[in-house]
Amino acid sequence: MTGISRTFISLTQRTAVLAALLLVAVITSPARASDSVVDSFALDNGMQVVVIPDHRAPIVTHMVWYNVGAADDPKGHSGLAHFLEHMMFKRTKTLAEGEYSRIVARNGGRHNAFTSADYTGYYQTVAVDRLPLMMELEADRMVGLVLDEQDILSERDVVLEERSMRIDSQPMALLREQMAAAQFTVHPYGIPIAGWRRELEKLSLKDVRDFYDKYYNPANAILIVAGDVTTEQVRTLAGKYYGPLKGTVLPKRVRAQEPEQTEAKRVDYRDQRVQQPTWLRSYHAPSYSAGRKELAPALDVLAEILGSGVVSRLYQKLVVEQRVAVAAGSQYSSISYDPDSFLFYAVPRPGLAPTPEESLDILEKATDAVIAEIVEKGITEEELNRVKTGLVAEMIYARDSNSTMAQIFGQALTTGSTIEDVLNWPDEIRAVTTDDVLEAARYVLDIRKSVTGRLLPKQPEQAGEMK
């Protein structure tokens, strides 16, 4: 019932996201599909509504996005946004506990929710004639959630167990958590979305209720409907179900900004459960919404060239030519409300060196050489054109999913971008030059702005155990 995505995001997800964004320009172009225009309007209570028509099948995805995420958790109450996401599936003034999910299931729908650092979202995918019911259900829990102390105690155990399963039992997740804390010492991106265990254990009914009352209202929400609908149909339904709710406009989100990092940091995490050592490095980087955001399109291209797929520079150099790695790549976190990160990873070939530490040293030197070449010489026109052509080709796969399109717009709008920004993204990518990529690489790939992480096995003697 959740997606706490910063720690667990797939290293290949950016390619899919970029492809979906590029697709938007195709399906909204009057020259291609005159009846598929992304539309938007606002209700009187401040709720923004986005409509993405797609009449190929009588289904619809209904999503409500809140402009609040884990980075907005009050100090000392980490995990609260994610905890509230869980609590939203409890009872309301009109529905008994569990009835919400049973109603969606009885009507042939599927539903879920997710929390990121910047947003919280809830969605249902159903037959189009069930859309009024989904709006009624979502509007009901937007303002009518009912909780008691026992709810907090029982669900807190569930959230703690989820943290145990997804983070505490996963050495890689624990390393990523420590690297984020080292990279973001002031900004809340350094705090895990799932929350620190010691703070989760203290979350109270008052904490949850105050957070819900502050952030869950239509003026702080975005409704996105994608599927077999028209703007007028959605306008009528949204006005009926969400329109009567009172909206309270919140101040613009302002978070503590990370001071410029001037010295490289290193984090080693050793764990007896580690079977395969891994090397990571993360650099501070602007996003499409913050920092030197004009560099974001070039950084998207750079991430593809350096570490996306088997033709990327990292894979070709480390895996194919030098045979020091079995996997290598990069990931750029560009869709964030504040400046975020640019990540590299590499996994050594078994038996590469006598010790795991030596294996990772070899990988680090090899990766540094690839980075240095990019920073010194930039990329080729051939690489640039290949990446652009590849992104265009991949957009076809995203077109078949209403939920993917709703996801793309929701992520953009809750992280500071606009519909126009999304629609203009393909032109921004097409306009990227080799000089742009070189400038972006030199700005971001500065070792002083980095955190290098090593995931290593812990030997019995290191754990203080008897041999």
Residues annotated as part of the active site? 85
Task: Report how many helices (DSSP H) and strands (DSSP E) the chain contains, helices first.
Answer: 17, 11
SS3 letters across 77-93? CCCHHHHHHHHCCCCEC
Q: Tell me, what DSSP letter sits at residue 145?
A: B
Rounded Cα distance between 384 and 331, Å, is 17
Tell me, what amino acid is at 100?
A: Y
Instruction: Supply 103's token pair.
Output: 């109603």
Would you call 220 helix, strand, or coil by DSSP?
Answer: helix
Would you call 53 helix, strand, or coil by DSSP?
Answer: strand
Q: What angle do CA 463, 360, 327 make, to 5 degrees?
A: 115
Rounded Cα distance between 276 and 299, Å, is 29
Q: Find the largest Cα–Cα distance for the chain.
A: 73
Query: What are the start-end ranges of the H helices in 94-195?
Result: 99-106, 131-143, 149-163, 171-183
Quick one: which H or E segment has residue 368?
A: helix 356-377
- 157 Cβ neighbours under 8 A, 6+ residues apart: none
Residue whose entry in the numeric block shows the structure tokens 């729908």 = 109
Query: What are the start-end ranges of the H helices in 415-458?
Result: 419-430, 434-444
Q: Tell me, what DSSP letter sits at residue 107?
A: T
Q: Give first-to-last CA distance, the chain, whole Å.
A: 43
CB 47 within 8 A of CB 222: yes
Tell me, what amino acid is at 253?
A: R
Rounded Cα distance between 231 and 404, Å, is 19
**Nearest alpha-carbon partner for 226 in 93, 434, 62:** 62
**Nearest alpha-carbon partner for 108 in 60, 64, 141:** 60
**Nearest alpha-carbon partner for 219 in 417, 111, 68:** 68
Rounded Cα distance between 301 and 15, Å, is 10
Rounded Cα distance between 294 and 202, Å, is 42
Tell me, what amino acid is at 18?
A: L
Tell me, what amino acid is at 149?
A: E
